Amino acid sequence: MVQSLDRLKESASQTAGPYVHIGCTPNFSGIEGVFPQDLGASMLNAEARGERIRIVGRVFDGVGAALKDAMVEIWQADADGLYPSPQETRGTADANFTGFGRSAGDMATGEFIFETIKPGRVPFKDGRPQAPHVTLWIVARGINIGLHTRLYFGDEAAANEADPILSRIEHRSRVSTLIAPKTLEGGVPTYRHDIVLQGDKETIFFDI
Amino acid sequence: MSGGSFYQRDRSWHPPAYAPTYKTSVTRSPQKALIALDNTLSEMTGPVFGHDMLGPLDDDLIANFAKDGDPIGQRIIVHGRVLDEDGRPVPGALIEVWQANAGGRYRHKKETYLAPLDPNFGGCGRTISAEDGSYRFRTIKPGPYPWPNGPNDWRPAHIHFSIFGHGFAQRLITQMYFEGDPLIWLCPIVSTIPDKAAIERLIAPLDMANTVPMDARAYKFDIVLRGRRSTLFENRKEGN
Protein backbone atom coordinates (compact mmCIF):
# COMPACT_ATOMS: atom_id res chain seq x y z
CA MET A 1 0.00 0.00 0.00
CA VAL A 2 1.06 3.55 -0.65
CA GLN A 3 -0.09 6.66 1.15
CA SER A 4 -3.52 8.09 0.40
CA LEU A 5 -3.80 11.31 -1.59
CA ASP A 6 -6.60 12.29 0.82
CA ARG A 7 -8.58 13.71 -2.02
CA LEU A 8 -12.39 13.82 -2.01
CA LYS A 9 -14.52 12.96 -5.01
CA GLU A 10 -16.69 15.64 -6.53
CA SER A 11 -20.39 15.24 -5.76
CA ALA A 12 -21.96 13.40 -8.68
CA SER A 13 -24.21 15.38 -10.98
CA GLN A 14 -27.91 14.65 -11.32
CA THR A 15 -30.29 16.04 -13.91
CA ALA A 16 -31.85 19.43 -13.20
CA GLY A 17 -35.19 17.77 -13.97
CA PRO A 18 -38.32 19.33 -15.43
CA TYR A 19 -38.79 21.89 -12.65
CA VAL A 20 -35.39 23.59 -12.52
CA HIS A 21 -37.19 26.90 -12.96
CA ILE A 22 -38.86 26.57 -9.54
CA GLY A 23 -35.47 26.88 -7.89
CA CYS A 24 -33.48 28.97 -10.33
CA THR A 25 -36.08 31.34 -11.82
CA PRO A 26 -39.05 31.14 -9.43
CA ASN A 27 -40.63 34.43 -10.54
CA PHE A 28 -40.60 33.18 -14.12
CA SER A 29 -42.34 29.98 -13.03
CA GLY A 30 -45.06 31.88 -11.18
CA ILE A 31 -43.71 31.60 -7.63
CA GLU A 32 -43.74 35.24 -6.72
CA GLY A 33 -42.85 36.97 -3.48
CA VAL A 34 -40.01 34.66 -2.42
CA PHE A 35 -37.15 36.46 -4.21
CA PRO A 36 -37.51 40.06 -5.45
CA GLN A 37 -36.20 39.11 -8.89
CA ASP A 38 -34.78 36.08 -10.63
CA LEU A 39 -31.01 35.67 -10.45
CA GLY A 40 -29.25 36.64 -13.67
CA ALA A 41 -32.36 38.30 -15.14
CA SER A 42 -30.48 41.56 -15.57
CA MET A 43 -26.79 41.74 -16.45
CA LEU A 44 -26.17 45.46 -16.68
CA ASN A 45 -27.39 48.93 -15.87
CA ALA A 46 -27.45 52.08 -18.02
CA GLU A 47 -23.88 53.00 -17.01
CA ALA A 48 -22.30 49.79 -18.28
CA ARG A 49 -19.57 50.27 -20.87
CA GLY A 50 -19.68 48.55 -24.23
CA GLU A 51 -21.85 47.79 -27.21
CA ARG A 52 -25.37 46.62 -26.32
CA ILE A 53 -26.16 43.30 -27.95
CA ARG A 54 -28.75 40.57 -27.68
CA ILE A 55 -28.05 36.85 -27.68
CA VAL A 56 -30.99 34.64 -28.62
CA GLY A 57 -31.39 30.99 -29.47
CA ARG A 58 -33.04 27.70 -28.78
CA VAL A 59 -31.84 24.29 -27.63
CA PHE A 60 -32.76 21.37 -29.88
CA ASP A 61 -32.83 17.66 -29.10
CA GLY A 62 -31.74 14.82 -31.36
CA VAL A 63 -35.04 14.70 -33.26
CA GLY A 64 -35.04 18.45 -33.91
CA ALA A 65 -37.55 19.51 -31.27
CA ALA A 66 -36.87 22.67 -29.27
CA LEU A 67 -36.54 22.10 -25.52
CA LYS A 68 -39.06 24.05 -23.46
CA ASP A 69 -37.68 23.12 -20.07
CA ALA A 70 -34.01 24.02 -20.37
CA MET A 71 -32.08 26.62 -18.41
CA VAL A 72 -29.19 28.42 -20.07
CA GLU A 73 -26.57 30.39 -18.15
CA ILE A 74 -23.90 32.62 -19.63
CA TRP A 75 -20.67 34.00 -18.17
CA GLN A 76 -18.60 36.56 -20.01
CA ALA A 77 -16.03 39.32 -19.66
CA ASP A 78 -16.88 43.01 -19.74
CA ALA A 79 -16.19 45.33 -22.68
CA ASP A 80 -12.50 45.48 -21.72
CA GLY A 81 -12.14 41.71 -21.41
CA LEU A 82 -12.14 41.73 -17.60
CA TYR A 83 -14.05 39.41 -15.27
CA PRO A 84 -15.65 40.56 -11.97
CA SER A 85 -13.83 37.90 -9.95
CA PRO A 86 -11.07 37.67 -7.31
CA GLN A 87 -9.08 35.62 -9.86
CA GLU A 88 -9.01 38.63 -12.20
CA THR A 89 -5.60 40.23 -11.66
CA ARG A 90 -5.29 42.40 -14.79
CA GLY A 91 -7.61 45.18 -13.65
CA THR A 92 -11.00 45.89 -12.19
CA ALA A 93 -14.06 44.88 -14.15
CA ASP A 94 -16.91 47.26 -14.90
CA ALA A 95 -19.00 47.52 -11.72
CA ASN A 96 -22.10 48.17 -13.84
CA PHE A 97 -21.94 44.80 -15.56
CA THR A 98 -22.35 41.44 -13.79
CA GLY A 99 -21.02 39.13 -16.50
CA PHE A 100 -23.61 36.51 -15.48
CA GLY A 101 -26.96 35.85 -17.11
CA ARG A 102 -29.57 33.14 -16.70
CA SER A 103 -32.52 32.47 -18.99
CA ALA A 104 -35.35 29.98 -18.58
CA GLY A 105 -36.37 30.13 -22.21
CA ASP A 106 -39.87 31.00 -23.35
CA MET A 107 -42.40 28.42 -22.10
CA ALA A 108 -44.09 28.18 -25.52
CA THR A 109 -41.13 28.43 -27.93
CA GLY A 110 -38.10 27.63 -25.77
CA GLU A 111 -36.26 30.73 -26.99
CA PHE A 112 -33.69 32.13 -24.56
CA ILE A 113 -32.73 35.79 -24.61
CA PHE A 114 -29.84 37.69 -23.00
CA GLU A 115 -29.54 41.46 -23.13
CA THR A 116 -25.83 42.02 -22.65
CA ILE A 117 -22.75 43.74 -24.08
CA LYS A 118 -20.16 42.49 -26.48
CA PRO A 119 -17.23 41.19 -24.44
CA GLY A 120 -13.62 42.26 -24.88
CA ARG A 121 -10.78 39.82 -25.41
CA VAL A 122 -9.47 37.52 -22.71
CA PRO A 123 -5.98 35.98 -22.85
CA PHE A 124 -5.34 32.29 -23.40
CA LYS A 125 -3.01 30.53 -20.95
CA ASP A 126 0.07 31.52 -22.97
CA GLY A 127 -0.99 35.16 -23.21
CA ARG A 128 -2.29 35.12 -26.78
CA PRO A 129 -5.64 36.89 -27.04
CA GLN A 130 -8.68 34.66 -27.45
CA ALA A 131 -11.43 35.81 -29.78
CA PRO A 132 -14.31 37.49 -27.93
CA HIS A 133 -16.54 34.76 -26.55
CA VAL A 134 -19.28 33.91 -24.09
CA THR A 135 -19.30 30.75 -21.98
CA LEU A 136 -22.62 28.89 -21.86
CA TRP A 137 -23.88 26.21 -19.50
CA ILE A 138 -27.02 24.24 -20.34
CA VAL A 139 -29.11 22.04 -18.07
CA ALA A 140 -32.53 20.43 -18.54
CA ARG A 141 -34.56 17.33 -17.91
CA GLY A 142 -32.72 14.48 -19.65
CA ILE A 143 -29.30 16.18 -19.38
CA ASN A 144 -27.43 14.20 -16.73
CA ILE A 145 -24.53 16.62 -16.34
CA GLY A 146 -24.53 20.30 -17.35
CA LEU A 147 -23.10 21.01 -20.79
CA HIS A 148 -20.40 23.64 -21.29
CA THR A 149 -20.01 25.35 -24.62
CA ARG A 150 -19.01 28.76 -26.02
CA LEU A 151 -20.44 31.39 -28.30
CA TYR A 152 -18.09 33.23 -30.66
CA PHE A 153 -19.20 36.21 -32.74
CA GLY A 154 -19.87 35.91 -36.47
CA ASP A 155 -18.55 39.42 -37.17
CA GLU A 156 -15.12 38.62 -35.65
CA ALA A 157 -13.82 36.46 -38.49
CA ALA A 158 -10.17 37.45 -38.15
CA ALA A 159 -10.11 36.97 -34.37
CA ASN A 160 -11.97 33.65 -34.68
CA GLU A 161 -9.46 32.50 -37.30
CA ALA A 162 -6.56 33.10 -34.92
CA ASP A 163 -8.30 31.92 -31.75
CA PRO A 164 -6.16 29.35 -29.88
CA ILE A 165 -9.15 27.12 -29.08
CA LEU A 166 -11.11 27.36 -32.32
CA SER A 167 -8.00 26.82 -34.43
CA ARG A 168 -7.21 23.55 -32.60
CA ILE A 169 -10.55 21.88 -33.35
CA GLU A 170 -9.84 18.90 -35.56
CA HIS A 171 -13.16 18.60 -37.38
CA ARG A 172 -13.29 22.00 -39.09
CA SER A 173 -16.89 21.50 -40.23
CA ARG A 174 -17.99 21.59 -36.57
CA VAL A 175 -16.42 24.97 -35.76
CA SER A 176 -19.45 26.81 -37.13
CA THR A 177 -21.59 25.33 -34.33
CA LEU A 178 -19.79 27.74 -31.98
CA ILE A 179 -20.15 30.88 -34.10
CA ALA A 180 -23.30 33.00 -33.92
CA PRO A 181 -24.20 35.05 -36.99
CA LYS A 182 -25.01 38.72 -36.44
CA THR A 183 -28.36 40.17 -37.45
CA LEU A 184 -30.13 43.42 -36.67
CA GLU A 185 -33.45 42.84 -34.91
CA GLY A 186 -35.44 45.92 -33.93
CA GLY A 187 -32.28 48.00 -34.28
CA VAL A 188 -30.35 45.84 -31.78
CA PRO A 189 -27.32 43.83 -32.91
CA THR A 190 -28.51 40.29 -32.31
CA TYR A 191 -26.52 37.08 -32.34
CA ARG A 192 -28.65 34.02 -32.99
CA HIS A 193 -27.14 30.95 -31.43
CA ASP A 194 -29.02 27.67 -31.56
CA ILE A 195 -27.64 24.73 -29.62
CA VAL A 196 -28.09 21.20 -30.95
CA LEU A 197 -27.70 18.49 -28.32
CA GLN A 198 -27.31 15.53 -30.65
CA GLY A 199 -26.91 14.49 -34.27
CA ASP A 200 -25.22 15.69 -37.45
CA LYS A 201 -25.29 19.34 -36.42
CA GLU A 202 -24.38 18.63 -32.82
CA THR A 203 -22.91 21.65 -31.05
CA ILE A 204 -19.35 21.33 -29.79
CA PHE A 205 -19.38 20.80 -26.03
CA PHE A 206 -16.26 21.16 -23.95
CA ASP A 207 -14.72 19.12 -21.17
CA ILE A 208 -13.43 22.04 -19.13
CA MET B 1 -7.05 32.44 -2.40
CA SER B 2 -5.69 29.87 -4.80
CA GLY B 3 -6.99 30.54 -8.25
CA GLY B 4 -5.52 28.12 -10.74
CA SER B 5 -7.11 25.70 -13.16
CA PHE B 6 -9.43 23.00 -11.89
CA TYR B 7 -8.59 19.34 -11.55
CA GLN B 8 -9.91 17.32 -14.45
CA ARG B 9 -13.47 16.17 -13.90
CA ASP B 10 -13.72 12.38 -13.38
CA ARG B 11 -16.42 11.69 -15.94
CA SER B 12 -16.57 7.99 -15.06
CA TRP B 13 -17.85 9.03 -11.60
CA HIS B 14 -20.62 11.23 -13.01
CA PRO B 15 -23.59 9.86 -14.96
CA PRO B 16 -22.97 9.47 -18.69
CA ALA B 17 -25.01 11.71 -21.00
CA TYR B 18 -26.72 8.69 -22.56
CA ALA B 19 -28.49 6.53 -19.98
CA PRO B 20 -31.39 4.78 -21.71
CA THR B 21 -33.19 3.65 -18.54
CA TYR B 22 -33.78 7.39 -18.05
CA LYS B 23 -35.65 7.76 -21.32
CA THR B 24 -35.46 11.54 -21.74
CA SER B 25 -31.68 11.31 -21.91
CA VAL B 26 -31.86 9.29 -25.14
CA THR B 27 -32.44 12.27 -27.45
CA ARG B 28 -30.82 14.88 -25.21
CA SER B 29 -27.37 13.32 -24.98
CA PRO B 30 -24.46 14.51 -27.13
CA GLN B 31 -22.98 11.61 -29.10
CA LYS B 32 -19.69 13.18 -30.09
CA ALA B 33 -16.76 13.32 -27.71
CA LEU B 34 -16.43 16.42 -25.56
CA ILE B 35 -13.48 18.56 -26.63
CA ALA B 36 -10.91 19.13 -23.90
CA LEU B 37 -10.48 22.80 -23.05
CA ASP B 38 -7.61 23.70 -20.76
CA ASN B 39 -9.01 26.21 -18.31
CA THR B 40 -8.62 29.86 -19.25
CA LEU B 41 -9.79 32.79 -17.15
CA SER B 42 -13.24 32.26 -18.68
CA GLU B 43 -13.53 28.94 -16.83
CA MET B 44 -11.44 29.77 -13.74
CA THR B 45 -13.56 32.79 -12.83
CA GLY B 46 -17.23 32.83 -11.98
CA PRO B 47 -19.88 35.14 -10.61
CA VAL B 48 -19.49 36.23 -6.99
CA PHE B 49 -22.65 36.43 -4.90
CA GLY B 50 -22.67 38.42 -1.67
CA HIS B 51 -24.66 37.65 1.46
CA ASP B 52 -26.40 41.01 0.95
CA MET B 53 -28.43 39.52 -1.89
CA LEU B 54 -30.21 37.21 0.54
CA GLY B 55 -33.53 38.03 2.16
CA PRO B 56 -34.17 36.95 5.77
CA LEU B 57 -36.46 34.06 4.74
CA ASP B 58 -34.53 32.85 1.70
CA ASP B 59 -33.20 29.83 3.63
CA ASP B 60 -36.50 29.03 5.30
CA LEU B 61 -38.85 27.16 2.97
CA ILE B 62 -41.28 26.67 5.87
CA ALA B 63 -41.83 30.43 6.07
CA ASN B 64 -40.90 32.00 2.72
CA PHE B 65 -44.18 31.24 0.94
CA ALA B 66 -46.49 30.81 3.96
CA LYS B 67 -49.80 32.64 3.59
CA ASP B 68 -51.92 31.71 6.58
CA GLY B 69 -49.92 29.11 8.51
CA ASP B 70 -47.08 26.65 8.23
CA PRO B 71 -46.99 24.15 5.36
CA ILE B 72 -48.09 20.56 6.06
CA GLY B 73 -45.35 17.99 6.51
CA GLN B 74 -42.30 16.87 8.45
CA ARG B 75 -40.19 19.80 9.58
CA ILE B 76 -36.51 19.30 8.79
CA ILE B 77 -33.20 21.13 8.78
CA VAL B 78 -30.72 20.40 6.00
CA HIS B 79 -27.16 21.41 6.74
CA GLY B 80 -23.62 20.58 5.74
CA ARG B 81 -20.49 22.03 4.24
CA VAL B 82 -19.36 22.91 0.76
CA LEU B 83 -15.82 21.56 0.29
CA ASP B 84 -13.46 21.19 -2.63
CA GLU B 85 -11.70 17.96 -3.63
CA ASP B 86 -8.79 18.85 -1.34
CA GLY B 87 -11.18 19.05 1.59
CA ARG B 88 -10.90 22.80 1.84
CA PRO B 89 -14.03 24.78 2.72
CA VAL B 90 -15.62 26.72 -0.15
CA PRO B 91 -16.97 29.94 1.36
CA GLY B 92 -19.36 32.19 -0.53
CA ALA B 93 -20.92 29.35 -2.55
CA LEU B 94 -24.46 30.16 -3.65
CA ILE B 95 -26.75 27.17 -3.04
CA GLU B 96 -30.22 27.19 -4.58
CA VAL B 97 -32.70 24.44 -3.69
CA TRP B 98 -36.08 23.36 -5.01
CA GLN B 99 -38.38 20.48 -4.14
CA ALA B 100 -41.88 19.00 -4.11
CA ASN B 101 -44.17 19.51 -1.12
CA ALA B 102 -44.91 16.86 1.54
CA GLY B 103 -47.34 15.10 -0.80
CA GLY B 104 -44.84 14.94 -3.67
CA ARG B 105 -46.38 17.79 -5.70
CA TYR B 106 -44.34 20.60 -7.31
CA ARG B 107 -45.71 24.11 -7.67
CA HIS B 108 -45.35 24.24 -11.46
CA LYS B 109 -47.72 24.81 -14.38
CA LYS B 110 -46.63 21.64 -16.16
CA GLU B 111 -46.95 19.38 -13.11
CA THR B 112 -49.85 16.91 -13.43
CA TYR B 113 -49.60 14.66 -10.35
CA LEU B 114 -52.94 14.38 -8.54
CA ALA B 115 -51.51 15.17 -5.09
CA PRO B 116 -52.61 18.64 -3.93
CA LEU B 117 -50.63 21.84 -3.79
CA ASP B 118 -49.96 23.22 -0.33
CA PRO B 119 -51.06 26.88 -0.24
CA ASN B 120 -48.28 27.63 2.24
CA PHE B 121 -45.41 25.99 0.40
CA GLY B 122 -43.55 27.38 -2.62
CA GLY B 123 -40.66 24.92 -2.74
CA CYS B 124 -37.66 27.13 -3.43
CA GLY B 125 -34.92 28.64 -1.29
CA ARG B 126 -31.30 29.70 -1.32
CA THR B 127 -28.35 30.41 0.92
CA ILE B 128 -24.62 31.19 0.71
CA SER B 129 -21.95 29.15 2.49
CA ALA B 130 -20.11 30.73 5.41
CA GLU B 131 -16.31 31.13 5.83
CA ASP B 132 -16.01 27.52 7.00
CA GLY B 133 -18.09 26.31 4.03
CA SER B 134 -21.13 25.58 6.20
CA TYR B 135 -24.71 26.18 5.16
CA ARG B 136 -28.17 25.32 6.43
CA PHE B 137 -31.80 25.75 5.54
CA ARG B 138 -35.14 24.75 6.98
CA THR B 139 -37.86 23.04 5.02
CA ILE B 140 -40.53 20.32 4.85
CA LYS B 141 -39.47 16.81 3.92
CA PRO B 142 -40.56 16.33 0.30
CA GLY B 143 -42.72 13.36 -0.64
CA PRO B 144 -41.90 10.74 -3.30
CA TYR B 145 -43.93 10.90 -6.49
CA PRO B 146 -44.65 8.93 -9.67
CA TRP B 147 -43.26 10.13 -12.99
CA PRO B 148 -43.73 9.15 -16.60
CA ASN B 149 -40.70 7.04 -17.50
CA GLY B 150 -41.58 3.40 -17.01
CA PRO B 151 -45.26 2.62 -16.34
CA ASN B 152 -44.64 2.57 -12.57
CA ASP B 153 -41.52 4.60 -11.79
CA TRP B 154 -41.36 6.67 -8.60
CA ARG B 155 -38.80 9.26 -7.58
CA PRO B 156 -37.41 8.86 -4.07
CA ALA B 157 -37.88 11.90 -1.83
CA HIS B 158 -35.24 14.41 -2.91
CA ILE B 159 -34.16 18.03 -2.86
CA HIS B 160 -32.57 19.56 -5.96
CA PHE B 161 -29.36 21.55 -5.37
CA SER B 162 -27.73 24.08 -7.71
CA ILE B 163 -24.28 25.20 -6.57
CA PHE B 164 -21.93 27.97 -7.70
CA GLY B 165 -18.35 27.69 -6.48
CA HIS B 166 -15.63 30.20 -7.33
CA GLY B 167 -15.16 29.27 -10.98
CA PHE B 168 -17.70 28.60 -13.70
CA ALA B 169 -16.00 25.22 -14.26
CA GLN B 170 -17.29 24.17 -10.81
CA ARG B 171 -20.94 24.74 -11.73
CA LEU B 172 -22.97 21.79 -10.50
CA ILE B 173 -26.57 20.65 -10.18
CA THR B 174 -27.35 17.53 -8.18
CA GLN B 175 -29.98 15.99 -5.91
CA MET B 176 -29.99 15.07 -2.23
CA TYR B 177 -31.70 11.89 -1.08
CA PHE B 178 -32.74 10.77 2.41
CA GLU B 179 -31.25 7.92 4.41
CA GLY B 180 -33.40 4.80 4.47
CA ASP B 181 -35.58 5.53 1.42
CA PRO B 182 -36.09 2.21 -0.45
CA LEU B 183 -37.02 4.09 -3.65
CA ILE B 184 -33.42 5.31 -4.05
CA TRP B 185 -32.29 1.94 -5.36
CA LEU B 186 -35.26 1.62 -7.74
CA CYS B 187 -34.89 5.04 -9.36
CA PRO B 188 -33.81 5.26 -13.03
CA ILE B 189 -32.41 8.78 -12.48
CA VAL B 190 -30.34 7.76 -9.44
CA SER B 191 -29.04 4.73 -11.33
CA THR B 192 -27.65 6.90 -14.14
CA ILE B 193 -24.72 7.21 -11.71
CA PRO B 194 -22.54 4.18 -12.39
CA ASP B 195 -20.74 3.91 -9.03
CA LYS B 196 -22.63 2.92 -5.88
CA ALA B 197 -20.17 4.92 -3.77
CA ALA B 198 -21.03 8.06 -5.76
CA ILE B 199 -24.75 7.47 -5.12
CA GLU B 200 -24.17 6.95 -1.40
CA ARG B 201 -22.46 10.33 -1.27
CA LEU B 202 -25.77 11.91 -2.32
CA ILE B 203 -27.72 10.30 0.53
CA ALA B 204 -28.02 12.52 3.60
CA PRO B 205 -27.96 10.74 6.97
CA LEU B 206 -30.30 11.61 9.81
CA ASP B 207 -28.32 13.84 12.20
CA MET B 208 -29.77 13.62 15.72
CA ALA B 209 -27.07 15.90 17.17
CA ASN B 210 -28.31 18.80 15.06
CA THR B 211 -31.98 17.93 15.47
CA VAL B 212 -33.97 20.57 17.34
CA PRO B 213 -35.89 18.70 20.06
CA MET B 214 -39.68 18.88 19.74
CA ASP B 215 -39.31 20.84 16.49
CA ALA B 216 -37.33 19.62 13.46
CA ARG B 217 -35.09 16.67 12.57
CA ALA B 218 -31.77 17.41 10.87
CA TYR B 219 -30.15 15.80 7.81
CA LYS B 220 -26.50 16.41 6.95
CA PHE B 221 -25.49 16.88 3.33
CA ASP B 222 -21.91 17.78 2.40
CA ILE B 223 -21.24 18.91 -1.15
CA VAL B 224 -17.86 18.54 -2.89
CA LEU B 225 -16.92 20.83 -5.77
CA ARG B 226 -13.91 20.47 -8.04
CA GLY B 227 -10.55 21.37 -6.53
CA ARG B 228 -8.05 23.68 -8.20
CA ARG B 229 -4.35 24.04 -8.65
CA SER B 230 -2.38 26.77 -6.96
CA THR B 231 -1.58 29.72 -9.25
CA LEU B 232 1.88 29.88 -7.69
CA PHE B 233 3.29 27.06 -9.80
CA GLU B 234 0.97 27.12 -12.73
CA ASN B 235 1.98 30.54 -14.00
CA ARG B 236 5.71 29.86 -13.68
CA LYS B 237 7.19 29.69 -17.13
CA GLU B 238 9.64 26.95 -18.05
CA GLY B 239 13.17 27.80 -17.01
CA ASN B 240 12.15 30.17 -14.21
CA distance A186 to chain B (A): 30
| Interacting residues of A194 by C-beta distance below 8 A, sequence separation 6+ | A57, A58, A59, A60
pLDDT per position as a tens digit, A125-152: 999 999 999 999 999 999 999 999 999 9
Identify the band that residue B1 occupies on the pLDDT scale cut at 50, 70 and 90.
Answer: very low
B39 and A208 within 8 Å at the Cβ level: the answer is yes
Backbone angles phi and psi of B51, in degrees to 5? -60, -20
Task: Tell me how far apart the alpha carbons of residues B110 and B108 are, in angstroms, rounded to a whole number.
Answer: 6
CA distance B13 to chain A (A): 7
What single letter denotes the amino acid at residue B99? Q
Global pTM exceeds 0.90: yes
Residues of B catalogued as catalytic: 106, 145, 155, 158, 160
Cα A104 to Cα A113: distance, rounded to the nearest angstrom:
9
Q: What gap in Å lies between CA B141 and CA B143, rounded to an integer?
A: 7
CA-nearest residue of chain A to B13? A12
Partner-chain residue, chosen from A16, A88, A150, that has the shortest CB–CB distance to B173: A16
List phi, psi (to 5°) of B60.
-125, 90
Instruction: For residue range A7-56, list pLDDT tens digits in order.
Output: 999 999 999 999 999 999 999 999 999 999 999 999 999 999 999 999 99
Q: What is the pLDDT of residue B2?
A: 59
Q: Nearest CA to A37 among A106, A135, A104, A83?
A: A104
User: How high is the ipTM of this complex?
Assistant: 0.97
A205 touches chain B (CB under 8 A): yes
